[in-house]
Structure 1
Amino acid sequence: MLAKRIIRTGKRYIGTPYVFGAPSNRKDIFDCSSFVRHVYGKHGIRLPRNSRQQFQVGQAIPLSWLREGDLLFFTTPKRKKKNGLERIGHVAIYLGNHTILHTSRNDKKVTITSLSPYWENVIVGARRVIT
């Protein structure tokens, strides 16, 4: 299953440092969207560079339909009062069991995080890019 392979690839980068605006060609540092773009790209799924652009790819799905490998999009404190695409400031890979694989300013590295009340309250939407 493609989702499991993508997740396995992403988990290889656990601990890789977070750097905001990390260049797309780097594998030793990531920001949230460069990480997602790199991991999916290793499996032939080409995604745009930033989270707002990535939110426009694939199929929008309700959160109740989430499955492994779907992308979850979040707002950030800096963007929460904005509208539409401008609210989006973070992207993560859904792992199932209420967990995500991502890299963020908070964790400062690629990590697995529980969808705690904090993360649940800042979800903007979900997209399925694996067909």
Structure 2
Amino acid sequence: MKYNLNQLTKKIAAAAIALSIAISGGALLSAPKAEAATASASSKATTIINAAKAQMGTPYKFGASTSTTKYFDCSSLMKYAYKKAGITLPRTSKAQSKVGTYVSKSNLKPGDLVFFYSPVTHVGMYIGGGKIVHTYGKPGVTTSTINSGWWKDHYNTARRVL
């Protein structure tokens, strides 16, 4: 085959365009998967947060059984709420602090577990807007702000399980 320079340039340009479309088309095809995973995590986070918030005011009891919703301790509340989204957590806050992946305080998303004290002895769930849902003493299941006061001073780490 004999090509002149103009024909060769057109063939190379056509090949480059085809390759570009193939590459970007592949990226476009994978985007819905990423969006679906994000939507699924967001949906689970909503389920988990709603389950925990539905227990607002439920009394605190250290070592509360995971087979009742009459009382909760911090880790049994998290175990209960996550179970509503089909996720099984370990029983204690210390064990819960080892599941999922580390997330920095500045990158918290609703549904992330947040831990307090060192060593870890308390767990709550980030619900957005600098707030957590958790339980301790009176008033039982409640919300608190983590960016000031006692909670800011005793913050330890966070984990993303979703």
Match of 1:55?
A: 97
Match of 2:160?
A: 128
Q: What percentage of aligned pairs have identical amino acids?
A: 41
Which has a greater percent of strand?
1
Q: How does 1:58-97 map to 2 (within 5 A)?
A: 58-75=100-117, 80=118, 87-97=119-129
Which one has the largest radius of gyration? Answer: 2
Tell me the TM-score normalised to structure 2 length.
Answer: 0.71
Match of 1:83?
A: none
Q: Distance in 2 between matches of 1:126 and 1:41?
A: 19
* Structure 1, unpaired ranges of 5+: 81-86
Q: After the TM superposition, which parts of structure 1 deviate over 3 Å for at least 4 consecutive aligned residues?
A: none
Partner-residue secondary structure (3-state), 2:121: strand
Q: How many residue pairs align between the two structures?
A: 119
* Structure 2, unpaired ranges of 5+: 1-42
Match of 1:21?
A: 63
Match of 2:144?
A: 113
| Aligned-residue RMSD, C-alpha | 1.0
Q: Distance in 2 between matches of 1:117 and 1:108?
A: 18
Task: Report if aligned partners of 2:57, 2:140 keep a CA contact under 8 Å in 1.
Answer: yes
Match of 2:21?
A: none
Q: Which has the higher contact order (CA 8 A, sep 6+)?
A: 1
Q: Distance in 1 between matches of 2:91 and 2:157?
A: 18
Task: Report if aligned partners of 2:115, 2:157 keep a CA contact under 8 Å in 1.
Answer: yes
Q: Distance in 1 between matches of 2:106 and 2:130?
A: 11
